[in-house]
Amino acid sequence: MQAMDVFGRFSRLDPIPMADYNYEHFRAKHLLEDVQRTMTRAGIQPGEMAPDFELPQTSGGSLRLSDLRGRPVVMHFGSFT
């Protein structure tokens, strides 16, 4: 997808009022920075190995991405709400 196609699709989205965002620290600049990184294809590319990181588990303890090597993993981060 061309960068202008991405920009065109993004610019036609209905704006979400800032009061509807669920994080007090969220700023419009964060969304715009994400859009810019998407348009310039910055970050990890498809097929590239993700850097290792650790996250807390709801059941206690923590989980490292490297603990899941060799198994299918879907990572979904972020939200517009």
Report the alpha-carbon distance of residue 11 to residue 2 in Å, rounded: 14
Q: pLDDT (tens digit, 0 to 9) for every residue of the chain, 81 residues total?
A: 465 676 677 677 766 666 665 566 667 787 788 888 888 877 787 788 888 999 888 888 999 999 999 898 887 766 655
pLDDT at 26: 65
Cα 41 to Cα 68: distance, rounded to the nearest angstrom: 26
Reported pTM: 0.43
Q: Is residue 18 part of a domain?
A: yes
Residue range of the domain that includes 12: 3-45+53-68
For residue 31, being part of any structural domain is answered with: yes
Q: Is residue 76 part of a domain?
A: no
- Assigned domain for 36 exists: yes
pLDDT confidence of residue 24: 63
* Distance separating alpha carbons of residues 63 and 32, to the nearest angstrom: 30
pLDDT digits (tens, 9 = 90+) for 16-35: 666 665 566 667 787 788 88
Number of structural domains the chain divides into: 1
Within-domain flag for 81: no
Determine, yes or no, domain membership for 41.
yes
Q: 73 lies in a domain?
A: no
